[in-house]
Amino acid sequence: MPGVVENDQARRVSKAIDDDIKREREQIKKRQKQRKDVKVMLLGQAESGKSTLQKQFQLYHASQTLDRERPSWRPIVYFNAIKAVRTILDELDWDFTTHANREDEAYLDPNWPAQISRIRHKLLPLITIEDSLASELSSGVTVAGGRSGVFVRAGWQSVVTSTRSWPVADMHGGNSSGQGVVANMAARLLAELQYDAAELWQHPAVKTLLRMRRLRLDESAAFFLDEVHRISEPDYLPTTDDILHVRLQTLGVTEHSFDINFGGNHYTWILYDVGGARHAWVPYFDDATAIIFLAPISAFDQYLEEDPRTNRIDDSLQLFTSTCSNKLLKNSSMVLMLNKTDLLKKKLQAGVMVKKYITSYGERENRYEDVAEYFRAHFAQVHKRKGVQKQELYIHFTSMLDVRATQRIIVDINEAIIKSYLGQSMLVS
């Protein structure tokens, strides 16, 4: 009776399928039960390195997404380079006119103003495109005050540019939706004027004013100008190093999530990267598993743009105090990253004296170890005195552009945060 055998077989197969589906559903249920949201907030003053840390997390947990985004970083790199060129020309102009008759004129060669003026003339098309490029990249968002900057919200990558490759032959047209027209023009101009940009960057006037610290540039400026020929290549694709160096102001709060596996359990790790605008932070505070606070300790000789009397380390300490003492955060664990240690070392090696800017530093040695410990002790003291958190403060010295070192720290932080998350959920249940 072949029909009966077939029916029996069909029933067995269908039961096996049903069992499989049931098992899978149960597994999904179990996985969902195991899936936990770990919320981590990145806080710290503007330019402290929050978004750079977010990129390092992305590199660790989801490097393929960083790969997909590479093309969208290209116009931002152009913008950083063009902004650097424009800033140098503005600052030189100011310096030549205001310092022309000062006693330190000995540093300045009388031929420099004419030489710089010639270079400026050639670079004019490039620098006049800066504002429109900023506007295109920010999708029309402008922020009151200050010169052109690029401000981005979550998901900007898909807005800025398509992910197709960008050969030179294509550069004249832009893409069909009209996006990237200015960025294409910037790429073409940079390719044409790269030798003039390099000539400016190598000019002794620029080197001298940088050495005398009268010329202040964004931290990304030197990096991209050193690399101007590479970034002007027609098939240029930003490297991880380029992406980490980019300066791009975050607007509002951007959210990034990664699925991570820890000790056999699945967690959804949600990172909130908060742009300089402080008032936007508060609503996101209360159920955060952890706060990672970034304080750039290289900034001891810098002042706030919006308040030139406030030293940036003082500002970081104030922000840290209000973060530690915020009662909404009493259950969050707290990680402090004393960031930009590479820049701190460079400044100290160049002979910049901490006591000149922070008088309480007194007669201590101007060595990296002493300075770093001095700042660490100050921040730790704030947490000890004002901290409402029940848990200890984890402190790391970081140089966020160093991939290997930062990835090691991320492993430690992941572990500490998950452990404290488990501790918190045990308290709650």
Ligand X SMILES: Nc1nc2c(ncn2[C@@H]2O[C@H](COP(=O)(O)OP(=O)(O)OP(=O)(O)O)[C@@H](O)[C@H]2O)c(=O)[nH]1
Tokens for 392, please give them. Answer: 């200890």
Binding mask 145-164 for ligand X (x = CB under 6 A): --------------------
Q: How far apart are the first and last CA of the chain?
A: 60
CA pair distance 88, 116, nearest whole angstrom: 10
Nearer Cβ to Mg ion, position 51 or 56? 51
Task: State the nearest-atom distance from the C-beta of 77 to ligand X, in Å.
Answer: 11
Q: Which of 82, 197, 401, 413 binds ligand X (CB under 6 A)?
A: 401
Nearer Cβ to ligand X, position 181 or 343? 343
Nearer Cβ to ligand X, position 52 or 389? 52
Residue by residue, what is the 3-state secondary structure of 109-171?
Answer: CCCHHHHHHHHHHHHHHHHHCHHHHHHHHCCCCCCCCCCCCCEECCCHHHHHCCCCCCCHHHC
Task: State the nearest-atom distance from the C-beta of 364 to ligand X, in Å.
Answer: 23
Radius of gyration of the chain (CA): 26
Footprint (CB under 6 A) of ligand X, residues 52-81: 52
Q: Write the single-letter amino acid at 70.
A: R
CA pair distance 42, 254, nearest whole angstrom: 10
Contact 413, 394 (CB under 8 A): yes
Nearer Cβ to Mg ion, position 55 or 383? 55
Footprint (CB under 5 A) of Mg ion, residues 50-69: 50-51
Give the torsion through C-alpha atoms of 282, 283, 286, 290, to 10 deg: -70
The answer to whether residue 347 forms part of the interface with ligand X (CB under 6 A) is no
Nearer Cβ to ligand X, position 205 or 313? 313
CA-closest candidate to residue 42, choices 29, 33, 52: 52
The answer to whether residue 247 forms part of the interface with ligand X (CB under 6 A) is yes
Footprint (CB under 5 A) of Mg ion, residues 67-106: none
Strand 265-274 with 36-43, pairing? parallel
Q: Which of 38, 40, 41, 50 binds ligand X (CB under 6 A)?
A: 50
CA pair distance 339, 416, nearest whole angstrom: 19
Name the binder of 424 from Mg ion, ligand X, none, CB < 5-8 A by kind: none
The footprint of ligand X on this chain (CB under 6 A) covers a number of residues equal to 26
Name the binder of 302 from ligand X, Mg ion, none, CB < 5-8 A by kind: none
274 φ, ψ (degrees, to nearest 5): -105, 120
Contact 386, 363 (CB under 8 A): no
Which positions make up the binding site? 47-52, 244-250, 339-342
Contact 418, 358 (CB under 8 A): no
The answer to whether residue 339 forms part of the interface with ligand X (CB under 6 A) is yes
Footprint (CB under 6 A) of ligand X, residues 263-282: 275-276
Candidate ranges 5-13, 43-51, 100-108, 347-355; the one touching Mg ion (CB under 5 A): 43-51
Q: Which of 191, 317, 343, 416 binds ligand X (CB under 6 A)?
A: 343
Which positions make up the binding site for GTP? 47-52, 244-250, 339-342
Question: CB-based burial of residue 48 (10 Å sphere; 0-12 exposed, 13-18 middle, 19+ buried)?
Answer: buried
Nearer Cβ to ligand X, position 299 or 329? 299
**How many of the other CB atoms lie within 10 Å of CB of 41?**
23
Tokens for 220, please give them. Answer: 């990304």
Nearer Cβ to Mg ion, position 57 or 166? 57
Contact 410, 349 (CB under 8 A): no
Binding mask 205-244 for ligand X (x = CB under 6 A): --------------xx-----------------------x
Q: Which of 39, 43, 47, 150 binds ligand X (CB under 6 A)?
A: 47
Task: State the nearest-atom distance from the C-beta of 157 to ligand X, in Å.
Answer: 15
Task: State the nearest-atom distance from the C-beta of 51 to ligand X, in Å.
Answer: 3
Task: State the nearest-atom distance from the C-beta of 56 to ligand X, in Å.
Answer: 9
CA pair distance 320, 386, nearest whole angstrom: 10
CA pair distance 138, 37, nearest whole angstrom: 31
Candidate ranges 80-88, 186-194, 201-209, 246-254; the one touching Mg ion (CB under 5 A): 246-254
Candidate ranges 45-53, 136-144, 299-307, 417-425; the one touching ligand X (CB under 6 A): 45-53
Strand 333-339 with 393-397, pairing? parallel
Candidate ranges 16-24, 48-56, 128-136, 353-361; the one touching ligand X (CB under 6 A): 48-56
CA pair distance 285, 63, nearest whole angstrom: 28
CA pair distance 368, 370, nearest whole angstrom: 6
Write out the residues near Mg ion by the rule CB under 5 A: 50-51, 250
Write out the residues near ligand X by the rule CB under 6 A: 44, 46-52, 219-220, 244-245, 247-250, 275-276, 339-340, 342-343, 398-401
